[in-house]
Amino acid sequence: MKKIIVVVALVVLAGVRAFAQPSKEVASRIDQVAALFRDNPTGYDTLFTSGFLAEVPADRLTAIFSPYYTSYGKIVGWNYIDSSHQWSAKARLRTSKHYTIELTIDLADSGSHLIDGLLLGLASPELKSLAEVRNKFAKMRGVTAMMIARLQDDGKIVPIEEYNPDTALAIGSAFKLYVLATLLKDINAGKRHWDDVIVLDSASRSFPSGQMHEWPVGTPVTLATAAAMMISISDNTAADLLIHTLGREHVEAMLSEAGNSHADLDKPFLTTQEAFKLKETNHDLGSRYITLSQEKKRAFLDREVAPFPHDSIGHVEGLIDKVEWFASPRDIANVYKYILEHSKSGEGAKVRGILAINPGLSIDKSRWDYVGYKGGSEPGVLNMSFLLHSKLNGGWYVITASWNDAGAPLKDTQFYGIVQRMIELAQ
């Protein structure tokens, strides 16, 4: 239920001018940055401008480089990715533990040419093929599932690589794709409009992630704003407000319409507030709920869960195989197919813009000219799901992966790095 945040080490922007190749100072500074991947590095004042260090002081830099070193090893080499500017460049660092890290560096164009901007991306394992990606997922603890597929013009979904493609796993906030698809259906039918105003009520006020849980009850919100908040920052309150507006049963009907072959696992279709209450570990609502039939669960939500005090929610964890939203990689491909086919024109086309607000990862725009994204995370649950359009061949692709393990904390940066590599190898 938390939003997925792409963690980059640091960003400070600087202007650059186009030249045929980087200066020798750029290569030297990259070598010096590579040497910072060690325990407790020092000497930042000889490498970075005072303006940079004012934004990112030494202790923060150490808190970046030392964990990178511990997790991925020292830098053993690098190569340019983009070397078309005199005082800036993109490079790919290679580590001793067989990971790559994308680096973007900007130097001051005068004086000693100190570093004025630096960005370190996710560490991606050095996987050379999609088959190696598949094998990597297969060896991870817990349960994993993934799919890379092309959406053909004739409506067929053609897998390129897959692992457990029909295994339904908990997907966290990626369930919001079904809420968005339901709203899209109503928009296209003329039943609702993006500028329709709905009012935030106490029943919809949930918990983070997001911002709307801090907004006053009674705040007016357009459907467009609620949808954008729900997708771009995974706002839970926005999602609950839309579920209440659209109707639980209406969203449930979309599960089958959008090709979710595990729809019964998602009924009743929970709001995030309900899920938080059921997963609260200091009471027995969740343990009682999971023993009930589907119809009795609906009554239980109204009778027991709805009146449970909002401010009594403390520690929330567990029940990821019982109190969740579930979908397989093929289910995710199907819901993206539904959204794509119903957003070609008219008011429905605005859905594509909403999905593209937050790309989820750093995606190569020279290869992908559209990136739609929704993911999900909570203790024991990770999902990343992308709808991409290829700039190289004009095709539409779905790339999705899930990882569930209730027994131990998930290594989210490891997961994100593998998914990053999936995207890089997809075409």
State the pLDDT at residue 350.
Answer: 98
pLDDT of residue 325: 98
Cα–Cα distance, 12 to 30 (Å, whole number): 16
Given CATH 3.40.50.9100, say whether it is the number of domain 130-267+324-425: no
- Which residues does 242 contact at the CB level (< 8 Å), separation at least 6? 179, 183, 223, 226, 227, 230
According to DSSP, the residues that pair with 403 across neighbouring strands are: 144, 382
pLDDT for 11 equals: 37
What is the side-by-side order of every strand in the sheet holding 99-107? Answer: 75-82, 88-95, 99-107, 115-125
CA distance 209 to 183: 21
Residue type (1 letter), 185: K
| CATH 3.40.710.10 domain position(s) in the chain | 130-267+324-425
Query: Is 291 exposed, middle or buried, given 0-12, 13-18 or 19+ CB atoms closer than 10 A?
Result: exposed
| Tens-digit pLDDT profile for residues 161-185 | 999 999 999 999 999 999 999 999 9
- Using CA atoms in the order 1, 205, 230, 403, what is the torsion angle rounded to 10 degrees? 10
Q: What is the pLDDT of residue 1?
A: 47
Ramachandran assignment for 375, one of left (phi > 0), alpha (psi -120 to 50 degrees), beta (any other): beta
> Chain-centre distance of CA 352, in angstroms?
16
Stretch(es) of the chain classified as CATH 3.10.450 = 24-125
Residue 21 confidence (pLDDT) = 63
pTM of the model: 0.86
| Distance of alpha carbon 96 from alpha carbon 82, whole angstroms | 23
Q: DSSP assignment of 115-170, as one string?
A: EEEEEEEEEEE---SHHHHHHHHHHSSSEEEEEEEEE-TTS-EEEEEEESTT--EE
312 vs 209: CA distance, rounded Å: 18
Q: What are phi and psi of 351, to 5 degrees?
A: -60, -35
Determine if the peptide bond prior to 216 is cis (ω within 30°): no
Hey, what CATH topology would domain 24-125 get? Nuclear Transport Factor 2; Chain: A, (3.10.450)
Residue labelled with tokens 């559209």 = 370
End-to-end alpha carbon distance in the chain: 31
Identity (one letter) of the amino acid at 309?
P
The DSSP code for 216 is P
Residue-by-residue pLDDT tens, the chain, 427 positions: 433 333 444 433 333 333 446 789 999 999 999 999 999 999 999 999 999 999 999 999 999 999 999 999 999 999 998 888 889 999 999 999 999 999 999 999 899 999 999 999 889 899 999 999 999 999 999 999 999 999 999 999 999 999 999 999 999 999 999 999 999 999 999 999 999 999 999 999 999 999 999 999 999 999 999 999 999 999 999 999 999 999 999 999 999 999 999 999 999 999 999 999 999 888 899 999 999 999 999 999 999 999 999 887 877 778 999 999 999 999 999 999 999 999 999 999 999 999 999 999 989 899 999 999 999 999 999 999 999 999 999 999 999 999 999 998 898 989 999 999 999 999 8
Round to whole Å and give the CA distance between 192 and 183: 8
Which contiguous run of DSSP H or E holds residue 197? Answer: strand 197-199
State yes or no: cis peptide before 209, omega within 30 of 0: yes
Sheet arrangement for strand 157-163: 157-163, 143-151, 396-404, 381-390, 368-378
